[in-house]
Structure 1
């Protein structure tokens, strides 16, 4: 079965990419890193005005009326640009929390014992009583630990996978760009077999994850969703690490954005539906099948 984007889906993806390039480019990214824990409310409202949070909300309720495949494309672009904030939680609350759909309200959610952006949230889904602040490895994702837990929402798992896919895609792009332009011994480093293999493996992992994420968005089957999450997590984490390897010492500098992709990928792997949960879901699915 072939999954090809429609012209409308391509237009949506390009529109989100253009919006984020205009409103959250390199300067805004660096400003966000320099002020950890501060959420740009004006940007949040712009996302709401563009329909980002209301993509799956029915038109009768003031939403865009699209489906899960379109939401996946939007969140993939958000992951590609390292857009900060509790995007998934606010999107899922669009039909229940006043102001969430329009970006007037920021919504956090409890999941896997963690809450992202709790102090900036206007509403919280789940029990965040007794939350304790943590020092997050990702300066763009403030965290609190809570003792409570919440049911795993398959849509949240898939949208997280879409964000991871976006990060993996960008890491692959950065690696290839550097391999083409950086020269050693009179030729681009991409001419060396070791670099070729790293870039090829990144591309294979990314495209495998993309196929799984897009397919899960169509089927919405829990097993497909969790499979996609595992593949996307691997593509994001290993892709960022391999991209660091391609860049060498330059990749480890604070000024270069690559370390942010690795840190964000690490943090996302601990969200609800993380590796252990997804593996257990898939194992249960396999065991339930007749032999």
Structure 2
């Protein structure tokens, strides 16, 4: 089984990176934070026109006709650019909610227990909750300024979407982990101390090397789960990706030193988003429980097959 992206998949990833670099670069990210407008409707439509949301919708239904391996590549790029909004839920709603595939509708979903919903006030629909506009919602403080949260009575995500949502969120986390690695390495090469770039010091080298290993391990797990579609591998991918995104952002902060805590640096936005995503679709505790159950089942099956 080959987990390496094909030439067509690499071209797809490059195309999405170029689109986001031109349309949602650092200035646009900062403008979103300062304005408090988390979902750019024009950008949402452009993503729809580019096939971002309809990527896995069959061609007969107006989609691109690709699969999860291609989806994780484009979501990785969205995570790298820190594009805000309910990207995962809108993608999952393509073909089921009018306008989702084209990007003319913003669709969100509840997280975990069916009570916490991101981007409630900016959404046109909620997965699994018809008539959501009349549902009472209470604002909840969020660590990420671009991920507003509301608590509602009940808005359960359909079980069919749970694994796919977790995997796509893991891809977003991988993109963030790779981006904070880039930021750390670049700053380590530019910032000088005692007449030398700080990247020349062993402690900083070790931090960056650990960030690289963490990000690549998570990326490999996400790619593998996208190919196999195995629920246990998806759980492992989410677990590794959450850890990579959070720990890489923290290490990137350490490389930046005091500069990393200032408003001018982007790394704090990556850390805040990583914290929120780690609690979406599947938490570490849930992933660990699923993996433990899978290991136990495998052990029981091996014992049952063992000749007496």
In structure 1, what is the Cα distance between the partners aligned to 2:105 and 2:198?
A: 47
1:287 aligns with 296
Once the two structures are overlaid, the 10-residue window that deviates more, 244-253 or 266-275, is 266-275
**CA 1:212 to 1:38, structure 2 compared with 1: closer, same or farther past 3 Å?**
closer
Once the two structures are overlaid, the 10-residue window that deviates more, 153-162 or 177-186, is 177-186
SS at match of 1:119: helix
Shift of 1:151: 4.6
Q: Indicate yes or no: 2:124 matched with 1:122.
A: yes
Q: Could you tell me the TM-score, scaled by structure 2's length?
A: 0.92
Shift of 1:37: 4.0
Shift of 1:38: 4.0
Once the two structures are overlaid, the 10-residue window that deviates more, 268-277 or 126-135, is 126-135
Q: Answer yes or no: is the 8 Å Cα contact 1:37–1:141 preserved in 2.
A: no
Shift of 1:121: 0.6
1:79 aligns with 79
Q: Answer yes or no: is the 8 Å Cα contact 2:169–2:281 preserved in 1.
A: no
Give aligned pairs, total. Answer: 291
In structure 1, what is the Cα distance between the partners aligned to 2:39 and 2:281?
A: 22
Q: Indicate yes or no: 2:154 matched with 1:150.
A: no
1:271-290 alpha-carbon deviations (Å, 9 max, x no partner) = 12111111111111112122
1:176-198 alpha-carbon deviations (Å, 9 max, x no partner) = 11111111111111111110110
SS at match of 1:144: strand
In structure 1, what is the Cα distance between the partners aligned to 2:35 and 2:276?
A: 18
Q: Indicate yes or no: 2:217 matched with 1:208.
A: yes
SS at match of 1:175: helix
Q: Answer yes or no: is the 8 Å Cα contact 2:38–2:147 preserved in 1.
A: no
1:117-161 alpha-carbon deviations (Å, 9 max, x no partner) = 111111111346332111211111111123434355100000000
Once the two structures are overlaid, the 10-residue window that deviates more, 83-92 or 130-139, is 130-139
1:195 aligns with 204
SS at match of 2:143: coil
Shift of 1:39: 1.8
2:251 aligns with 242
2:54 aligns with 54
Q: Based on CA coordinates, which of the two structures has the bigger radius of gyration?
A: 2
Q: Which runs of 5+ in 1 are unaligned?
A: none
CA RMSD of aligned residues (A): 1.2
Q: Indicate yes or no: 2:89 matched with 1:89.
A: yes
In structure 2, what is the Cα distance between the partners aligned to 1:117 and 1:274?
A: 19
Q: Answer yes or no: is the 8 Å Cα contact 2:36–2:146 preserved in 1.
A: yes
Q: Answer yes or no: is the 8 Å Cα contact 1:37–1:142 preserved in 2.
A: no
2:146 aligns with 140
Once the two structures are overlaid, the 10-residue window that deviates more, 43-52 or 271-280, is 271-280
Shift of 1:2: 4.8
In structure 2, what is the Cα distance between the partners aligned to 1:38 and 1:228?
A: 27
Once the two structures are overlaid, the 10-residue window that deviates more, 137-146 or 58-67, is 137-146
Q: Which runs of 5+ in 2 are unaligned?
A: 304-308
In structure 2, what is the Cα distance between the partners aligned to 1:126 and 1:63?
A: 22
Q: Indicate yes or no: 2:279 matched with 1:270.
A: yes
Q: Answer yes or no: is the 8 Å Cα contact 2:38–2:85 preserved in 1.
A: no
2:6 aligns with 6
Displacement over 4 Å in runs of 4+: none
